[in-house]
Amino acid sequence: MINLNDGLKHINAKSIQSLMKEKDIVIIDIREQFEIDITSVPGTVNIPMQVVLNNFKDILRKDQEYYILCHTGQRSYYLTSVLAQYGYNVINAYGGITLMNEFYVHY
């Protein structure tokens, strides 16, 4: 985990690759469909950020841990901070898909 002294949980996106091999984790890729069409990460669930923001009480559970992934980590940082305020167990994938070299395709 990375500590940015902001009260949130962060993990380097590259570290998620190792976690995916070790245990079953839930990664929510909050990028838009046109971004997913360019490159995607196998094993993730794509729910665009706006959909999560508008429906998180219906689609997320507070007893589940979620890793939030986007392109560079900015959107995931914002969404993680919002969800954490509501008591959800969320971890920001710091650096986004750009750091997940095995899966990243340059735009």
The answer to the question of residue 105 being in a domain is no
Q: What domain range includes position 34?
A: 9-85+93-99
Instruction: Please report the pLDDT score of residue 66 as a whole number.
Output: 97
CATH of the domain at 35: 3.40.250.10
Q: Looking at the domain assignment, is residue 104 inside a domain?
A: no
DSSP secondary-structure letter at 97? G
Residue-level pLDDT at 28? 97
Q: Are 99 and 13 in contact (CB under 8 A)?
A: yes
Residue 1 lies in a domain: no
Q: How many whole angstroms separate alpha carbon 13 and alpha carbon 101?
A: 9
- How would you write the pLDDT of the chain (107 residues) with one tens digit per residue? 666 678 899 998 778 888 888 999 999 999 999 999 988 888 899 999 999 999 999 999 999 999 999 999 999 999 999 999 999 999 999 888 887 755 444 43
Q: With respect to residue 107, please indicate whether it lies within any of the assigned structural domains.
A: no
Instruction: Please say whether the beta carbons of 73 and 92 come within 8 A.
Output: yes
> H helices within the chain, ranges in order?
13-22, 33-38, 49-59, 74-85
Q: What is the pTM of this model?
A: 0.88
Q: Residue 50: inside a domain, yes or no?
A: yes
Instruction: Give the dihedral sign, CA 89/94/100/103.
Output: positive
Tokens matching residue 3: 């500590």
Q: 4 in a domain, yes or no?
A: no
How much is the pLDDT for 105? Answer: 47
Domain count, the chain: 1
For residue 49, is it within any domain?
yes
